Each structure stands twice: as structure tokens, then as C-alpha cells.
Amino acid sequence: MKQILKFIIILLPWFLSSLTPIDKEYYNSLSLPWFTPPRMAYGIIWTIIYIGIAISIYQIINSYNKKDIPKSYKYTLLLNYIANQSFQPLFFLLKNNFLGFISCLLTFITSLFLYIETKNLKESATKYLIPYILFSLFASILSLSIYLLNLTF
């Protein structure tokens, strides 16, 4: 039971940004590229990705004493978390497509660093981060496309 609670504590913060209200009118007013997934797909995809991230973190935490986990891993994880969580407020609250793109790009870049840091600690935990890296890359391309399609001069 303690292990399940530990996993849930690791997982829950990743859903914090889902509390950000989504302005459907704003989203529907945007020109979207042809490869935009249906809106309902995002919740499913990000839930799977967040579970994978939590499994990876859980494996690291269970493999090391807290004080033995390198600061570089902790900092990389924190930077990735901040980048990841910043998208919804920047895109939907500020209605800023450019900052949304920057958030996606930073999420992708820091997910690569998180993969490397995780690999240095426990290679088997990296396989749970691969979907995150791939979807973060896709989200960056999608976000850049949305930004460019909606530029007003």
C-alpha cells in the first residue's frame, strides 16, 4: 500500500496543469494544421505519458537513497516539469501561441536531457520516457504550425 501511495504522489503533480481552464472558443478560433489530433485524444495521450514519467521516476526513487540521486537529475526533472506544466496557462490563459510553442520546445528539449539523466541512473527506466520524447517533439511541431498559421501582420 505504501508503494502505491508513493506512486500516486509522484503521478498527481503532473496533472496540475489540467486544472487550467481551457478556452474552447479561443482554440476553435485558431487555424489548425491538418495533422492536429482530435481534442479528446490529448487527455488520453497525456495520461499515458504522465503514467510513464511517474513509473520512470518511481524506479529511480526506489533504486537510490534520496541523498544519492544526483542533483543534475533533480534539476533536469524540475526544469522539465516546469516546462511541461507551463503550456496550458501560456497557451489558454494568456492566449499566446508563441509562448505555447516555446513551452512545447522547452518540454521537448528538457525531456531529452531527462532521458539522458535517467539513463545514467537506471537504463531500464528510460523506456517509459520514449513516448514522452516523441509526443513532445510532435507537440512542438504542432505548436509551431499553429503559431505560424495564426500570425497576423
Residue 124 buriedness (CB in 10 A; 0-12 / 13-18 / 19+)? exposed
Predicted TM-score (pTM) of the model is 0.95
Instruction: Summarize the confidence of residues 36-41 as an average pLDDT.
Output: 95
**Residue ranges per structural domain of the chain:** 45-153
Give residue-wise pLDDT tens across range 79-131.
999 999 999 999 999 999 999 999 999 999 999 999 999 999 999 999 999 99
Residues contacting 109, CB < 8 A, separation 6+: 83
Q: Which residue has the cell 533533480?
A: 74
70 CB neighbour count, 10 Å cutoff: 12
Give the rounded percent of residues in the chain with a pLDDT score beyond 90: 93
What per-residue confidence (pLDDT) applies to 152? 84
Q: Coil, strand or helix: which one is 94?
A: coil
Give residue-wise pLDDT tens across range 42-87.
999 999 999 999 999 999 999 999 899 999 999 999 999 999 999 9
- Per-residue pLDDT band at 153 (split at 50, 70, 90): confident
